[in-house]
Amino acid sequence: DTAVSQTPKYLVTQMGNDKSIKCEQNLGHDTMYWYKQDSKKFLKIMFSYNNKELIINETVPNRFSPKSPDKAHLNLHINSLELGDSAVYFCASSQVGRGVAGELFFGEGSRLTVL
Amino acid sequence: GENVEQHPSTLSVQEGDSAVIKCTYSDSASNYFPWYKQELGKGPQLIIDIRSNVGEKKDQRIAVTLNKTAKHFSLHITETQPEDSAVYFCAASIGNQAGTALIFGKGTTLSVSS
């Protein structure tokens, strides 16, 4: 049973389109994240949500809007896609205590290609 | 904000040799330092972690050391095997009572040849 699952696994779209990536975790964790991995493998934090509340937003353009309907789901919606948005997007979850970081469990990634 | 530097970016060793990857961090408030292994087409997976109140931790062939004063930590893999070939990432924690996250180094591609 997959702990952190993302859909779709692959996404190919044209510049200017709007797309969404969905993420669900069945670990009962309170915190979920979105990371972006570029072509050089660099993993960069985008957002962090704790119990549906946005905690961290790391200078991500407004075209990216995370939505957390409940603490098991964190979706990523991207408007007006640009070539530079091409990357692998990873969802992750973690059970952290107050101010205490812990292991992140990653999904398998969603590879977005913008043409 | 936190900045994590990782070296080397690529590392090639012969099977049975040891491999060492080093990282430095900038934020003295960081207190959690995990290492992740990422295989092709997969998400990163935790292989070992260390907290700031510990100087060294070992799990079979892998070990991590932490020097809080110098703000650096290292991953040591002994008796490397071809299946150790992957991209390895170090990370340091950021955050506060509201929430935490991990800032990653740029990764090391380890190749183990038999």
The whole-angstrom distance between A44's CA and the closest CA on chain B is 7
pLDDT exceeds cutoff 90 at A103: yes
Is B31 in Cβ contact with A41 (below 8 Å)? no
The whole-angstrom distance between B112's CA and the closest CA on chain A is 19
Task: Measure CA A114 to chain center.
Answer: 17
pLDDT exceeds cutoff 90 at A14: yes
* d(C-alpha A67, C-alpha A75), whole Å: 5
pLDDT at A32: 94
Task: Measure CA A39 to chain center.
Answer: 17
Task: Report whether B106 contacts B10 (CB < 8 A).
Answer: no
Rg, chain A, Cα only: 13
Q: Locate tokens 């100087």: which residue?
A: B55
Average pLDDT over residues A12-27: 97
Q: Locate tokens 């985008």: which residue?
A: A46
Task: Report whether B46 contacts B40 (CB < 8 A).
Answer: no
Q: How many residues does chain B have?
A: 114
Average pLDDT over residues B1-12: 95
Digit-coded pLDDT (tens) for B19-56: 999 999 999 999 999 999 999 999 999 999 999 888 99
pLDDT exceeds cutoff 90 at A55: no
- Does any CB of chain B come closer than 8 Å to the CB of residue A50? yes
Is B101 in Cβ contact with A108 (below 8 Å)? no
Q: Which residues of A touch B94 (CB under 8 A)?
A: 101
H or E segment to which residue B7 belongs: strand B4-7
pLDDT exceeds cutoff 90 at B112: yes
Q: In 3-state terms, what secondary structure has residue A94?
A: strand
Could you say which DSSP state residue A85 is in?
Answer: G
Q: Locate tokens 């893999």: which residue?
A: B77
Is B43 in Cβ contact with A106 (below 8 Å)? yes
pLDDT at A10: 97
CA-closest candidate to residue B51, choices B37, B66, B63, B41: B66
The whole-angstrom distance between B18's CA and the closest CA on chain A is 24
* d(C-alpha B71, C-alpha A83), whole Å: 37
Cα three-residue angle B53-B3-A65, rounded to 5 degrees: 110
Is B43 in Cβ contact with A109 (below 8 Å)? yes
Digit-coded pLDDT (tens) for B46-103: 999 999 888 999 999 999 999 999 999 999 999 999 999 999 999 999 988 778 899 9
* d(C-alpha B72, C-alpha B66), whole Å: 6
- Does any CB of chain B come closer than 8 Å to the CB of residue A109? yes
Q: Which residues of A touch B34 (CB under 8 A)?
A: 103-104
Percentage above 90 pLDDT, chain A: 79
pLDDT exceeds cutoff 80 at A78: yes
